[in-house]
Structure 1
Amino acid sequence: MDSPAVTRLFRRLASHQFCQPNCHLIPAVSAQQWRSRSSAPATYSKPRAPEKKPKTTSESNWQQRSDHFPLDKADEFKRYPTVTADGLRGRKERPRRVKMLMRDFIEDSLYNPQYGYFSKNVTIFNTGKPFEFNTIQDEPEFNRLLGERYTQFEDNLDEKEYREDRQLWHTPTELFRPYYGEAIASHMVANYKLSLYPYHDLVIYELGAGNGTLMLNILDYIRATDPEVYARTKFRIIEVSNALANLQNHHLNATAASRGHADKVEIINKSIFDWDIYVPTHCFFLAMEVFDNFAHDVIRYDPFTEEAMQGSVLIDADGDFYEFYQRTLDPVAARFLRVRDAACQDRAYNHPLRGSKMLRNLRHRLPLAPNLTLPEYIPTRLMQFFSTLSTFFPNHRLITSDFHSLPQATPGFNAPVVQTRYQRRTVMVRTPLVQQGYFDVLFPTDFGVMEDVYRALTGRLTKVMTHEEFFKRWAYVEDTQMRSGENAMLGWYKNASVMVTV
């Protein structure tokens, strides 16, 4: 913890009701698996002193009756400078007396090199030796074994350094290694040999590689099954986190088997949004569970005029947060709305203005009704990622998997789950305006809309399928089948989809 205020914040969590067991980091229900991680129950960045008057206007779901911003903070909103996540990268302290767009606030919270969530507070669960699924009786036994390994993993971490606020989470790559990575490798090798071999090398980029497990599993599989393809394979990781880049390099050199891949691998420690190198070669681009942590902008609409208003976050002198909405959209948000309108003309997607305009007007004219719609979170960073692929990787083939729905999200459309972890339990909150660096903010992906936006920006065709459909096609499903006939890798992550360039 980096301040007494933050310490008090987390201690207050003990007096709040924690989430139900099926949101714990130790999985209990496989039908709705999602990457469990972090959050805490305060709309303010720190606890309020008892004698102070509660500042109810900082509640992110509060909707003003007569204006689109808190009047008691209007003067500060005019005076405070506007900052961006890029401009805050060099700061060691969380900013105060500033304002920024919601996407910059989320980006800074997750990725700031000094205090960001992924830079300082995240530990990725490692199962130790892979599970022998064929010897496990059924899913309840698998859940029990996984829970035991989770506990042992964290007990070992506590022996080195005890932390009540450790942020620990798992990924399908780690849970189902090496079979998860082998399925992706099988897909890439088959498509590479179908259209690129022997005239081009097999070049693979991976965005946000975590522990580096997926990279090693893919390279192990290709080396074992197709030495000729392996001889022409190159693997490049693009990793924004210094800590994770170092961890990936450590795991690459940890054993004789992994060191054998060293001449195949390059770890590039930079943000994909800073990418400025043109890559004309044909390549596969992996983005597995990274869309959910791309920053979003927040938009609310006037229910009568249907005018879009963009949300900003004001951080006052006390470090408290306030949402403001303005009628002028910044160029990035405006571009997303234009691209979506053009690309999704034939698609009926979920949206605050869908449905009967008459009923909406009647509802908002009722006493005490809000004067703005519920918030809509738009994936502006994801749009910029697609633009980067189009501009710098014109011959890429994207392979991505992420969550198309998330339970217990904050109010709104395409709204995030915001959570932290305290004393080995997951705690949910109802706003993304939380202490920077200690909370995970993850969004669902509307794959229908994103497929259309991707096609519009890159000109490439795609196919979207469920997690189960993809791994039925490309995995050796016998390897993850339990004695009861249940299949762990196919049964979990029912709320995830896979999109590939065809």
Structure 2
Amino acid sequence: MDSPAVNRLFRQLASHHFCRSHAVKPRLLTAVRQCRRKTTRARPHHQAPPTKTTLESSWQQRTSFFPADKAEEFKKYPFVTSDSLRSRRERPRRVKMLMRDFIEDSLYNPNYGYFSKHVTIFSNEHPFDFPSIKDEPDFYRQLSQRYAEFEDKLDEDAYDEARQLWHTPTELFKPYYGEAIARYMVANYKLSLYPYHDLVIYELGAGNGTLMLNILDYIRHTDSEVYARTKYCIIEVSSALAQLQARNLAATAASRGHAGKVEIINKSIFDWNTYVSTPCFFLALEVFDNFAHDIMRYDPATSTPMQGSVLIDAEGDFYEFYTRSVDPVAARFLRVRDAACQDRNYAHPLRSSSKLWRSLRHSLPFAPNLTLPEYIPTRLMQFFSILGTRFPAHRLVTSDFHTLPDATPGFNSPVVQTRFNRRTIPVTTPLVHQGFFDILFPTDFGVMEDMYRAITGRLTRVMTQEDFFRRWAYMEDTQMRSGENALLDWYKNASVMVTV
């Protein structure tokens, strides 16, 4: 059972100041290990760190605090993947895996994954009456009150101090957010597809199913001819969320009216093997941020890429290892990015300083032997490949964060956080107890636009989320008495990319 150990873990997280700081100092080795998994035996302060072996320095990242030498275990432990762990009911030990498999397993494992077992998405029972709200502080106060009431009701049924509760713009701004998306799709459908094709919509990761209902309600209310030709398909990896979407679809007479148009498919998009030749809109709203990434570091002297793996030892502690053997998926990403983004100046560990300066800096005593990490969105690349090969006539509509505060150190690095006693607690590494931490990444939309075009052959347009909703939303619906507009002013760190 997880509960007693997990409760101790979260209490330790809540009590340590390091979890709210970006700087991890050498003396916090014990605390870092606690944040990663559970407590380990602290080394006395007077005892010198263990001597690093030649073998270890070839594999293990050198940092200001020297980790235990796990090179022998790295050599003998078997490599596993997130796919091979799907049937496991307990978190693995004595194994190693690529970072993307560790993240995928942490977020999506059917038995202990974050989205499979521990996530609750805030549901706003009644839409906010924005024209009656005084200003943004008043909106925030009302939102906080509804959040507390929502969680109080959950606690009446089953108290959970480690409940992972968060919200989405679909829920905050319903039905107006979904109506704007629907308005965009209907306008483009009637411009180029109607009446020769049906309006076919695929949504990836539909949460509570609120966006689906808002879109279908709007089309039914505004255009009966288009509604008669509308089909809606949800692709949902989480069995719990798929069941919730089905319940919400059957909750009221109005929603039950859509039942004949909706299909909920409980599977991962990465297991998709059906060829969809018909034109369709493909919605992927706030899903890129939870796609698994690989971790890369580079040799500062030779610029050689090195791919990161995660070792899980017999005690359940995590260790990073790097090797020059880059697996085919990560190697393909680097090749496609190099070819597609030749003229784009994007952030990269080898572009932050000259080769000479890197060599000098890393040759200093106790300096890291590799660059800062770069997290590359290999799963997102695979998603683009699926769109290009399985949905050749698709039109992508996606929105996600182009920047995130409080990220872990590195390039394109994630925010890693959990929630305990209704408090959000950020940590400084993605190597954390699987299933209890959200691991979310920013999206470099410039790089991803170039890669999407290279992989699918489709043209795109990228804009800020604010610009998109200025065009497709009715501004008066979400404008407060002060003149502030919640739909435009919130999520300013998000962008929208659409296929044109």
Q: Which category describes the TM-score, using the shorter chain as reference length?
A: over 0.9
Q: 1:254 aligns with which of 251, 256, 260?
A: 251
Does the 8 Å CA contact 1:284/1:398 hold for their aligned counterparts? yes
Alignment partner of 1:239 is 2:236: yes
Cα 1:133/1:236, change in 2 over 3 Å: same
| C-alpha contact (below 8 Å) 1:95/1:315 kept by paired residues | yes
Matched, 1:454 2:446: no
Rounded to whole Å, the distance in 1 between the matches of 2:457 and 2:374 is 27
Is the 8 Å Cα contact of residues 19 and 428 (structure 2) preserved in structure 1? no
1:51 deviates by 7.5
Question: For the Cα contact (< 8 Å) 2:56–2:70, is it kept in 1?
Answer: no
Partner of 1:374: 372
d(CA) in 2 for partners of 1:383, 1:177: 31
- Which amino acid in structure 1 is aligned with residue 487 of structure 2? M
1:347 aligns with 2:344: yes
Contact map agreement 1:114 1:120 (CA 8 A) in 2: yes
* The one of 190, 196, 209 aligned to 1:199: 196
Whole-angstrom CA distance in 2 between matches of 1:359 and 1:82: 36
Quick one: which of 70, 75, 92 aligns to 2:72? 75
Tell me whether 1:177 sits opposite 2:174 in the alignment. Answer: yes
**C-alpha separation between the residues in 1 aligned to 2:355 and 2:405?**
28
Amino acid of the structure 2 residue aligned with 1:2: D
CA contact (8 A) 1:404 1:445 kept: yes
Residue aligning to 1:85: 82
Residue in 2 that maps onto 1:431: 429
Provide structure 1 residue ranges, at least 5 long, that are not aligned to the other structure.
Answer: 21-39, 58-63
- AA partner of residue 76 (structure 1): E
What CA distance in whole angstroms lies between the structure 2 residues aligned with 1:343 and 1:7?
A: 47
Residues of 2 paired with 1:448 and 1:379: CA distance?
13
**Structure-1 residue corresponding to 2:333:** 336
Q: CA deviation at 1:44?
A: 3.0
Q: Partner residue of 1:129?
A: 126
Task: Say which is worse superposed, 69-78 or 322-331, in terms of deviation.
Answer: 69-78
From 105, 109, 112, the counterpart of 2:106: 109
Structure 1 SS opposite 2:234: strand
Measured against aligned partners, the alpha-carbon deviations of 1:434-453 in whole angstroms (never above 9, x if no partner) come to 00000000000000000000
* SS in structure 1 at match of 2:69: helix
Please give the residue correspondences for 1:303-452 in structure 2 after superposition, counting only pairs within 5 Å. 303-354=300-351, 355-452=353-450
Shift of 1:71: 6.8
Matches within 5 A, 1:29-48: 42-48=34-40
Q: How does 1:121-160 map to 2 (within 5 A)?
A: 121-160=118-157
How many Å apart are 1:16 and its aligned residue? 2.2
Of residues 302, 309, 322, the one that matches 2:299 is 302
Equivalence for 1:9: 9
Amino acid at match of 1:79: K
Could you tell me how far 1:471 is from its partner in structure 2?
0.2
Q: Does 1:270 pair with 2:291? A: no
How many Å separate the matches in 1 of 2:273 and 2:184?
A: 28
Q: Per-residue deviation at 1:53?
A: 9.5
Deviation at 1:187, TM superposition (A): 0.3
Percent of residue pairs bearing the same amino acid type: 75
**1:65–1:370: 8 Å Cα contact kept in structure 2?**
no
Q: 1:454 to 1:376 in 2, by over 3 A?
A: same
Aligned AA (1:11): R
Distance between the aligned counterparts of 1:383 and 1:84, measured in 2? Answer: 18
CA RMSD of aligned residues (A): 2.0
Structure with greater contact order relative to length (CA < 8 Å, sep ≥ 6): 1
Tell me the distance in 2 between the aligned counterparts of 1:498 and 1:261: 27
The one-letter code sitting in structure 1 at the alignment partner of 2:4 is P
- SS of 1:42's equivalent in the other structure is helix
Q: What is the Cα deviation at residue 66 of structure 1?
A: 3.8
Q: 1:411 deviation in Å?
A: 0.3
- Work out the CA distance in 1 between the residues paired with 2:84 and 2:414: 24
Mapped partners of 1:286, 1:49: distance in 2: 48
Determine the C-alpha separation between the residues in 2 that align with 1:424 and 1:48: 27
Alpha-carbon distance in 1 for matches of 2:3, 2:307: 32
Distance 1:379 1:218, change over 3 A: same
What secondary structure does 1:418 align onto? strand
- Structure 2 length as normaliser, TM-score? 0.93
Whole-angstrom CA distance in 2 between matches of 1:231 and 1:55: 75
